[in-house]
Structure 1
């Protein structure tokens, strides 16, 4: 089975590639802009015709799209997260119309959740940021493409290699800098929001299962832990894993974004029914693995889904 992973050098993509390479009989190709990529692909700027040529040369049986922007201005986000998936779908219809497409979306597409509830895939989408809006546009492009495609709408991924652009990776970097100094002070923002944190290795396993699952699959599947945890508890758990002896100071003044999205939690029943997938790692597992990688000095992946 020939599997092309786009964005395979990023946080999510790196774990997806590692997991797929363990599949018996799989040939995993990495597509991207880096010099070491097996297939030269830039979804933010490639034209459908040139991308179709690249896809035809790769001849994939399945494509996993982990590419996307997690930061930058609205134009950058739109090019990577909205235009990119649309161009990919157009090129796949031309070059590999029977290939299975697995696209990684984001729970940020839902927008604010209702405290105490889990959101299902059929829920209304009301993103409140350009990131969430552009990820939703990419999901719509994939879901309406007519291809054999599924969107894995990922919660807040945590684990080894988490980028410093997201809260878990940034906090891990601060903890490493603080070391064992009992006088160290971590200055953090408002940590009152609740999020659905999922181990990045479980996300990779979901992609692994979706690549070859009997079809047709639902157009969208939530991939999360199925429970909401306060961001404050995540930070405290990471501090425990690091043996942090100092103190944390939190800006409790809040922010417009935290006020708008104070709760996110996904219902993961459909992923269990369609893929036989449920998370196998706890949040403590994810935090321990993140800290171990940070303490060893492993470089974080350059890209990744941010904590919305």
Structure 2
């Protein structure tokens, strides 16, 4: 298959989207580099790592972009940002609404989906050889609680958010996730341009078809 691909598109570069989940648990206050050991904890992370190994050993002109936690318009309902957006849409502006969630104390490296798409486009068109693997993320660890409260603020949510401390096993085992994106800057000239607030506003607009609530209105009660 790889030989056929090389013959069919000798000048094309394959850009494979990997995941920060390939690294597994992070070390608090440490941004992981591409040379770090991989130890995925979930089938998703293991599958992504298998794809990375296949691509990096293919002999093709290829690069793997290990994307952090994408957020923004089009977020699926199976992921945390999309799920929270759906719950907030259902709750509306009811001051008596209560949204019960698990433990939100984990830290994640969020990156806007539009920044990730731009990284893929740049990686596909940058001349010359590239490193086999590049981290694509926001470059900083953000409490998941900040994402939830920020989205609630954008939605104008007036109710209460409760954490029951349960959460998922994955969140408990991977309490810290942060990617060092220095190499992507050097190889691609890429840096994230959109903030988490930009991502949340765009996610909410895509979820409801309406604009964000002006800042200061509808502050959620933790």
Same fold (TM over 0.5): yes
Q: Which residue in the other structure is 1:220 paired with?
A: 133
Q: Which residue in the other structure is 1:101 paired with?
A: 14
User: Aligned ranges for residues 127-142 of structure 1 at < 5 Å?
Assistant: 127-142=40-55
Question: Would you say the 8 A contact 1:185–1:247 is kept in 2?
Answer: yes
Q: Which residue in the other structure is 2:30 paired with?
A: 117
Question: Would you say the 8 A contact 1:98–1:147 is kept in 2?
Answer: no
2:173 to 260, 273, 285: 260
Q: Which residue in the other structure is 2:66 paired with?
A: 153
* Structure 2 CA distance for partners of 1:215 and 1:245, relative to 1, 3 Å: same
Cα distance in 1 between the residues matched to 2:98 and 2:120: 39
Unaligned 5+ residue runs, structure 1? 1-47, 49-88, 298-308
2:90 to 177, 183, 189: 177
For residues 65-105 of structure 1, the C-alpha deviation after alignment (integer angstroms, 9 at most, x for no partner) is xxxxxxxxxxxxxxxxxxxxxxxx46523532432101100
Q: Which residue in the other structure is 2:78 paired with?
A: 165
Moved more, 166-175 or 253-262: 253-262
Unaligned 5+ residue runs, structure 2? 211-222
For residues 183-211 of structure 1, the C-alpha deviation after alignment (integer angstroms, 9 at most, x for no partner) is 11112122111100000000011011111
Cα distance in 2 between the residues matched to 1:198 and 1:251: 27
- Measured after TM superposition, the shift of residue 253 of structure 1 is 3.1
Runs of 4+ in 1 over 6 A off after TM superposition: none
Given the two structures, how large is their TM-score scaled by the length of structure 2? 0.91
Question: Would you say the 8 A contact 1:196–1:265 is kept in 2?
Answer: yes
Cα distance in 1 between the residues matched to 2:115 and 2:98: 33
Provide the alpha-carbon RMSD of the alignment: 1.3
Cα distance in 2 between the residues matched to 1:221 and 1:135: 14
Secondary structure of the corresponding residue to residue 62 of structure 2 = strand
Question: Would you say the 8 A contact 1:143–1:150 is kept in 2?
Answer: yes
Q: Which residue in the other structure is 2:156 paired with?
A: 243
Given the two structures, how large is their TM-score scaled by the length of structure 1? 0.66
For residues 186-242 of structure 1, the C-alpha deviation after alignment (integer angstroms, 9 at most, x for no partner) is 121221111000000000110111111012000000000000001111000000000
* Larger RCO: 1 or 2 (CA < 8 Å, sep 6+): 2
State whether structure 2 residue 102 is matched by structure 1 residue 189. yes
Cα distance in 2 between the residues matched to 1:91 and 1:254: 46
Secondary structure of the corresponding residue to residue 271 of structure 1 = helix
Q: Which residue in the other structure is 2:215 paired with?
A: none
- Measured after TM superposition, the shift of residue 247 of structure 1 is 0.4
Question: Would you say the 8 A contact 1:224–1:266 is kept in 2?
Answer: yes
Secondary structure of the corresponding residue to residue 153 of structure 1 = strand
How many pairs were matched up?
A: 210
